[in-house]
Amino acid sequence: MVRQRRKFKPRARTSRSLNIDDASPENDQKIQPPSPAGDFWKIDPPLSTRLYEKSALGQRHEDGSITLTASEVLFCHWHRHVPLPDPSWLESELKKNPRLIYEAIIMDVGRNGGEMIVPSIHRPTDEPLAWAVRWHRDRNHLKENYQASVSLATTHDALDWMNLLKWCRQSKAIQVDSELFVIDDELDVTMYKLDLIDPRGDLFSWDRLNADDKATFLQNWKERTLTETGSYVGHHDAWKWHQIGIEHMSGRVLRNEEETYIKQIITQSEEPSSDSFLMDDLLNRGLLLRPGFKYGCRWRVYDGDLNESHAPWLIQPHREAATTWEGVCLSVRLAEGVHKQWVCAIYDDDWNYLRIQRWSPGKNSSST
């Protein structure tokens, strides 16, 4: 079988090399390599002034020098022609920090096009997951506050949804974005923007129905016929609660989760569950819920009549969400492939809706 010729050009993958020869002490170096300074690496003026003021690299000290993290040293080596301290420097630093390669690649990719990423060890922040902070390419890091809090992860890292929620809340409180850089085993980086959203629709929830419509619904529902996966409700009156059931066979077909919701929340004949509380919150927002099994989530969620618009959101309860970033990345990619937004529902005193979207440098405006 002859392999079909490709009709497109594969995406070029970045590969950085190290100029080990320049790190040799025998070479006459025009730019002096960084010198050790505790856990950091020091560069003196005048080079330090240019690196700090123009590129927000390092932490500046009273004598005008700056100290760099190892990932910043690699960035300066690749982009500012700064020699490495010695030929075996990388191996030595990897023994101190096994994640250095990941951090350096994320620093390289994240600073693409002039964005300024500064390790939070230089700019301390109270945000729990902040590995770094970021200034947009058109902002002044000497005069303005940073625009984003940056976290990093590998695809195999376990994630804590409550920590993510706390991070997004704190970032929102100081009006900065929450951005996550995920690196895979191929050393390829995908960037995500995380934010808390307030999904709303225009459908009538149970509380907005009048007393007569509620009584009619409950009478029809009590006369339902059970099916293998829910129930069938035959009715002669107009069906007023459009959030519940699917019109079919001259009646209404209810899913099992809708049956459970009615018993637990409406008639209160059973103890309510977390799933029913979440459904109640979403329905009270005027939203329409439909199964999301085709999209790998609990629900696809509409803000109006499903015959008039597509579902903007795919919502997953956090206890059913992936436990590693590899799984989350797959969910977000699938959602965006069908022009939807992936949202994780997390309960903490109230229901919170954490949206995760892919992001690229230069696309700085948040989606609504």
Region of 11 (left: φ > 0; alpha: ψ -120 to 50; beta: rest) is beta
Q: Which residue from 254, 251, 255 is spatially nearest to 234, judged by alpha carbons?
A: 251
Model confidence band, residue 112 (pLDDT cutoffs 50, 70, 90):
confident
At 351 the pLDDT is: 98
> What's the whole-number mean pLDDT along residues 292-319?
94
Model confidence band, residue 228 (pLDDT cutoffs 50, 70, 90):
very high
Model confidence band, residue 4 (pLDDT cutoffs 50, 70, 90):
low
pLDDT in tens, 70-108: 999 999 999 999 999 999 999 999 999 999 999 999 999
At 362 the pLDDT is: 62
> What's the whole-number mean pLDDT along residues 337-347?
97
Region of 212 (left: φ > 0; alpha: ψ -120 to 50; beta: rest) is alpha
> Higher model confidence: residue 170 or residue 21?
170
What's 113's DSSP letter?
Answer: G
* Sheet of 59-60, strands arranged across: 35-37, 40-43, 66-68, 59-60
DSSP labels for 144-213? S--SEEEEEEETT-B--HHHHHHHHHHHHHTT-EEEEEEE-TT--EEEEEEEEE-----S--GGGS-HHH
Question: For the packed helices 100-110 and 70-79, what is the interaxial angle rounded to 10 degrees?
Answer: 50
Cβ neighbours around 7 below 10 Å, total:
5
At 288 the pLDDT is: 97
> What's the whole-number mean pLDDT along residues 48-70?
97
> What's the whole-number mean pLDDT along residues 54-61?
96
Distance, in Å, from the CA atom of 83 to the CA atom of 147, rounded to the nearest integer, reads 31
Evaluate if residue 329 carries a pLDDT over 80: yes
3-state secondary structure of 359: strand
> What's the whole-number mean pLDDT along residues 158-176?
94
At 151 the pLDDT is: 95
Domains and CATH numbers, the chain: 19-98 (3.40.1170.20), 206-353 (3.40.1350.10)
Evaluate if residue 306 carries a pLDDT over 70: yes
Beta strands, E only, the chain: 35-37, 40-43, 59-60, 66-68, 116-119, 132-135, 148-154, 177-183, 189-197, 225-227, 230-234, 246-248, 251-255, 288-291, 299-302, 313-317, 341-347, 351-359
In this structure, of 234-243, 285-294, 309-318, the range with the lowest mean pLDDT score is 234-243
Percent of the chain with pLDDT over 90: 82
Residue 278 burial (10 A CB sphere; 0-12, 13-18, 19+) = buried
Model confidence band, residue 128 (pLDDT cutoffs 50, 70, 90):
confident
pLDDT in tens, 186-222: 999 999 999 999 999 999 999 999 999 999 999 999 9
pLDDT, mean over the chain: 91
Evaluate if residue 275 carries a pLDDT over 50: yes
Q: Are strands 66-68 and 59-60 parallel, antiparallel or unpaired?
A: antiparallel
Evaluate if residue 292 carries a pLDDT over 70: yes
At 364 the pLDDT is: 47
> Higher model confidence: residue 15 or residue 345?
345
Evaluate if residue 367 carries a pLDDT over 60: no
C-alpha dihedral sign at 209, 210, 213, 215? positive
At 23 the pLDDT is: 60
At 146 the pLDDT is: 95
What's 137's DSSP letter?
Answer: T
Percent of the chain with pLDDT over 70: 92
The distance from CA 102 to its chain's CA centroid, rounded to whole angstroms, is 18
Q: Are 129 and 153 in contact (CB under 8 A)?
A: no
Element (H, E) at 76: helix 70-79
Strand partners, 118: 133
Distance, in Å, from the CA atom of 252 to the CA atom of 234, rounded to the nearest integer, reads 6
Question: For the packed helices 89-96 and 70-79, what is the interaxial angle rounded to 10 degrees?
Answer: 150
Residues in the chain: 368
> Higher model confidence: residue 321 or residue 126?
321
Claim: this prediction has a pTM higher than 0.85: yes
Q: Are 315 and 292 in contact (CB under 8 A)?
A: yes
